[in-house]
Each structure stands twice: as structure tokens, then as C-alpha cells.
Amino acid sequence: MFRRYAPRLALTLLTVFFLDLTDLIELHKNAADFKLNLDNDFSRMFSELLFGFHRIDTGLNASDIAQLAFLAAAPLFLGQSISADLSISGTYYFTRQNHRTRWYVRRSLSLLACSLTVSLFTCLLNAAMTSYFDVNGIPAARIALVMLSVTMCIFVLVMLSNIIGIFFGSVIGLAVTVVYAGANILLTYSPMRQISLVFNSAFLPDEGYADMSVKLGVNTGIAAAVFAAGLAVVRKRELGLVNAEQLF
Amino acid sequence: MNRIDLENVSKTIRRSEVLKNISLHFESGRIYGFIGRNGSGKTMLFRTVAGLIKPTAGCVKYNGQTLGADIDIIPRLGLVIENVGLYPEFSGLVNLRMLAKINSLVGEQEIREAVSRVGLDPDDRRTVRKYSLGMKQRIVLAQAIMEKPDVLILDEPTNALDEDGVEQIRGIIREERERGALVLIASHNKEDISSLCDRIYLMKSGEVTEAGE
């Protein structure tokens, strides 16, 4: 099943690569400034590379839009996999076998593997870019923590898009997911930033390992809740009644 | 001998009663036809019999076992339902292979035979997305018959087919009956119904209003 998602995963990775490329160009243009500001703060540089260059004092800026594009990439290409399977081919699948739980778990695991691949690719790409600029090494523990958090965050967004897509179609599913991610990015710079659930708020420079672990825990909890909600929806869904794609 | 019994089946969707207190029984080796205008409830009835949706009241029994309670689906069911399809990014043969793998009842040879039987080339590597409407209808029928099902539920099986295609599909349906399958057909094509069916039901506003041999 993971192989079935390979083309969509490749498109996601390509999008992430081009988004990172824009970061690299930005770095080249302002290399002296970045060296000056970030040379002794490799973790911050890594975070900035991963999530875009933020100016905390000005709130939303172009880098946030780049980050939103990064967050939207996986739901855009992978956010219809379960919902489309259920509404298109679920009918012929489930008239042969009614193990919906097993079917859903297998697809969710495939999407988790895809999320992990996107996260791994992003982190390795950014680690390579950081070393290219000759800053100090990044602790492996920090990279692992970042990678797991990014994985959970992407997984939540992809699953959310799928579950909403089951009811309202893939366009609405993606739209709601992007709005959710955008709202969380905005919250990152507000006084209420602790309730921002996307990963970027976990990696602001003044936050340490403990905060990152808490964020990872919260995101894992949310992923588990979204997974459980999806399971309930898939098990109770009446098939062939309405094709959600035809509603819009 | 396989048997399907519908006992006082009703279905309400968004406060609209789409099936009203339907009681019918079907036996294997026979073809049952349903005619009626659009929205009369034929497709909804078929989806209920297939176990895709649950009746609001009443029950569907297969060989005495209640769907949704004793069993979830009719074992060995072949289904053609309008508006649902196969994976558009794969060829027809690959789609059928994926579905056949679920129960492993048939091998490559039987799958290719089913594709040939409906008039398609098993070696055609085009994806389903590039199929014409008629080809899509044929490949969906191939998935329904490839595992030699005990029950065949066909909703508008001759839609989008040319004259030769219609005749070919009618031949297949007759062969399935001879094999002993229980066949339910809904069609707008009165000739389909009159030439194929052993018993005909007329549906109107969610009710079975007439029946004839």
C-alpha cells in the first residue's frame, strides 16, 4: 500500500525540496548577516531553515506563507488517499471483505510512513544545508526530536484532511486543514502561542528540549485522537450512499 | 440453494423515506428485474441488499442470517453499482488483480478470462482514467463476475454500451443464471428487463407496487 502512495509522496518531497531551495537562495543573498546572527546558534539556524526565516516582531510575513505551503504540501498530495479509497473503491472492497478496521489501520500506517519520509527528507536536507554554511554540528537528539514532531504534525494534517474529505470531499478537506495550519501559525506569535499545535512554535529559540518534548507529546496525543476519530467514521460510514466528490 | 429475504425493509435518509416497508424474497438460479423512474428507490434497495447501507427498519436475510447482525456482507457477492468506480490511475487488469487478492478465490487466468469475457483486452495497459464510459462499464462488470459469485447485483449493467455490448452483457447474465447465480437487475432499458428476467418488480416512490412473471 505504501508503494501505491509513492507518486504522491514523490510530489510532496519535490515541493518540500523547492521550498527549501528558496530558503537556500535567501541564505546566499544574506549570508553575512546569517553567519553573524546564527553562527553560535546552530539549533536556531536549523529551525529557521526548517520553518522559514521569521521576524518575530512583525508577526505574519512571507516566510509564514512559505511555512504554510510546506504544511499544505503533504495534505495536498496525500490528504485524499483514505477518503477517495472509501468513496471510490470502498464499495467493491467492502463487498468482498468487511475488515474495515484492518483496512483503515493499514492505510493509516502507510500515511504515517509517508509523513516520516517527508520529515526525514526535510530534516536531512536542512541538516545538509546547515553544514554547508559551516555552522557547528547539530545534536542528534535534537534532530530526532524535531523529526518526530514534524512527522506527527504532518500525520495529523494528512489524517484531518482525509477525515473531513470523507464527509465533504477532498477540496473542503484540504481547505479546512490549511485554515487549521494557518491559524496555528498565527498563534505562534500571539500571547496564546502555547496553544498553537503546529510544530513551529515548539522550536522557537527560547524553548528548550523539555518544551519540545511536551509539544511532541501533545502532537502525538492529537494524532492518536484524530486516528481514533477516523476509525469511528470509517467503521460507521454507509458506503455508496453519497459520493462526496459529487457534492461540490 | 441460496436465498435472500427482505422483511419489512425501510430506509430514511434526511427525513425522507426512500424505501417503504419492502418485503421480498429471491432464490438462486433466477433473474429478478426492477424497473422504475429515477429516484424510485431501485439503487437504494440494491445498496441495502448488498449490505452497503443499513435499513432504518426491518432486515435483510441471506440464507436465514441477518445482514448487519449475523453477517456483515453477503459472501461471494458480485456487484455493479452506478457512480462508484475503480482506481483511475491503474489499468483495468491491475484493478481486478487488487480486488481478487482480497479473498484469493481466483488467479491470474480467471481474471484475464473475465476481462476477455466482457469484450476487453486483458493486455490493454491504458489506465481506467483513459477508458471510455462503455469500457468502464465493462470492466466493472468483469470485477463483478470474475469470482463466480453466488449473488449478482447489477444496477444499470448496460448503461453506456453499444448494441453489440448490450447483447454481449445479456448473454453473460444468462450464463450466470445457468451457473446457478441469483441475479438482481435494475435497468431503464425495458428490453433488458423483459428479455432477461424471470420476475419483474415495478418500483415507485420507495415502494414495490407491482410484480409480474
Q: Per-residue pLDDT tens for A236-245?
A: 877 765 543 4
Report CB contact under 8 Å: A241, B53: yes
Q: How far apart are CA B101 and CA B98, in angstroms?
A: 5
Residue of B47, B74, B84 with shortest CB distance to A243? B84
Question: B30 with B39: CB under 8 angstroms?
Answer: no
Report CB contact under 8 Å: B72, A98: yes
Q: Give residue A9's pLDDT.
A: 87
Q: Which residue has the higher pLDDT, B29 or A37?
A: B29
Which of A150, A131, A141 has its CA nearest to residue A50?
A150
Residue A190, chain B, CB below 8 Å: the answer is: no
Residue of A98, A238, A240 with shortest CB distance to B84? A240
Q: Which of B72, B82, B150, B153 to mutate to test the interface with A (most CBs of A within 10 A)?
A: B72
- Spell out which residues of chain B touch residue A241, defining contact as CB-CB under 8 Å: 13, 47, 52-53
Q: Per-residue pLDDT tens for B131-161?
A: 998 999 999 999 999 999 999 999 988 888 8
> pTM above 0.80?
no
Residue A236, chain B, CB below 8 Å: the answer is: no
Report CB contact under 8 Å: A94, B86: no
In this predicted complex, what is the ipTM?
Answer: 0.83
Residue B143, chain A, CB below 8 Å: the answer is: yes
Q: Which of A12-16, A84-88, B6-10 has the lowest mean pLDDT?
A: A84-88
Q: Give residue A45's pLDDT.
A: 54
- Spell out which residues of chain B touch residue A86, defining contact as CB-CB under 8 Å: none
Between positions 101 and 140 of A, the ones with CB within 8 A of B are none
The mean per-residue pLDDT over the stretch A10-22 comes to: 83
Q: Does position A158 have pLDDT exceeding 90, yes or no?
A: yes
Q: Does position B166 have pLDDT exceeding 70, yes or no?
A: yes
Q: Which three cell numbers stand for residue B99?
A: 480486488
Q: Which residue has the higher pLDDT, B31 or A52?
A: B31
The mean per-residue pLDDT over the stretch A89-116 comes to: 86
Report CB contact under 8 Å: A91, B52: yes
Question: A156 with A226: CB under 8 angstroms?
Answer: yes
Q: Give residue B33's pLDDT.
A: 94
Q: How far apart are CA A82 and CA B58, in angstroms?
A: 31
The mean per-residue pLDDT over the stretch B30-48 comes to: 90
Q: Give residue B150's pLDDT.
A: 94
Residue boundaries of the structural domains of chain A? 3-246
Buried b (16+ CB within 10 A) or exposed e, A220-242: bebbeebbeebbebbeebebbbe
- Distance from chain centroid for Cα B200: 16
